[in-house]
Amino acid sequence: MTAAFDVIIPARYGASRLPGKLLRDIAGKPMIHRTYERALESKAERIIVATDDDGIARVVESFGGTVCRTQSEHATGTDRIAETVENLSFDKDRIIVNLQGDEPCVPGGLIDQVAECLAGATEAEMATVSLPLVRHEDMNDPSVVKVVVDRRGYALYFSRAPIPFVRNDVPPDNVTHPRYMRRHIGLYAYRVGYLRRFVS
């Protein structure tokens, strides 16, 4: 199945940990350009950078990318995407993939996969991605978001703390964690109708 979808990249200059990181150079190109290139590897029909920043907008337009200007007061990238779908009058059934601007290593195939997952699950309103947690040090790293999924692969809850907590028989540093220990990848697909309800 090939899902029809668009990618929106929420992009703000004022990151709390590293302001201006989307304009930082990665092997000769700004990070936002590298992220946009990954989106181009997908089957997305449109790729839009949603930003309130003049510098980011200029850079994206300089390499031929599409920009939707948004307000500056958004608390999250999801809010910025919601404004974009309203500004551009997206249909309520359209699938949008939220690719974070600071994710220049997400392959296009993974973007396609999350869109196709949502398209194939008509009862679902959003989809996301997780991978097995393989590095022992990631279990206790709060910058690594952990996720618990049910038998069907549906997310039950997310945490920056170790979940599920292993009280006994903790695997040593050099042993792979059980398959139920997963790390969340910040890649989301939404149906526009759900996105509108979520942010309201």
CATH (domain of 34) = 3.90.550.10
Taking only the tens place, the pLDDT of each residue in 77-88 is 999 999 999 999
Q: Are strands 182-191 and 95-99 parallel, antiparallel or unpaired?
A: antiparallel
Length, in residues, of the chain: 200
pLDDT tens for each residue of 151-162: 888 888 899 988
Q: What is the pLDDT of residue 133?
A: 84
- Report how many domains make up the chain: 1
The answer to whether residue 150 scores a pLDDT higher than 90 is no
Residue 9 has pLDDT above 80, yes or no: yes
- Whether residue 163 is contained in a domain is answered as no
Q: Residue 167: inside a domain, yes or no?
A: no
Instruction: Find all residues with CB under 8 Å of 161, minimum gap 6, and list them.
Output: 142, 146
Whether 144 is in a domain gets the answer no
Query: Within a 10 A sphere around the Cβ of 52, how many other Cβ atoms?
Result: 19
Question: In this structure, is residue 166 part of a structural domain?
Answer: no
- pLDDT computed for residue 138 by the predictor: 86
Range(s) of the domain holding residue 44: 5-128+185-199
pLDDT at 3: 81
- The answer to whether residue 64 is domain-embedded is yes
Q: Distance from first CA to last CA of the chain, Å, rounded? A: 31
Residue 8, φ and ψ in degrees, nearest 5: -120, 130
Query: What DSSP element (H or E) covers 133?
Result: none
Tell me the sheet residues that pair with 95: 5, 191
In this prediction, residue 167 carries a pLDDT of 64
Q: How far apart are CA 198 and CA 77, in angstroms?
A: 13
What pTM was computed for the model?
0.88
If we measure between CA atoms, which residue out of 8, 74, 92, 88 comes closest to residue 46?
A: 8
Mean pLDDT of the chain: 89
Q: Within a domain: residue 66?
A: yes
Q: Flag whether 12 is in a domain.
A: yes
pLDDT at 170: 59
Rounded Cα distance, 167 and 172, in Å:
13
The whole-number average pLDDT for the span 139-155 is 87
What is the per-residue pLDDT for 120?
93
Pairing of strands 126-132, 182-191: antiparallel
Q: Is residue 135 domain-resident?
A: no
Q: Give residue 171's pLDDT.
A: 56
pLDDT in tens, 168-186: 665 555 455 556 678 998 8
Q: Which amino acid is at 102?
A: D
Tokens standing for residue 71: 């307000």
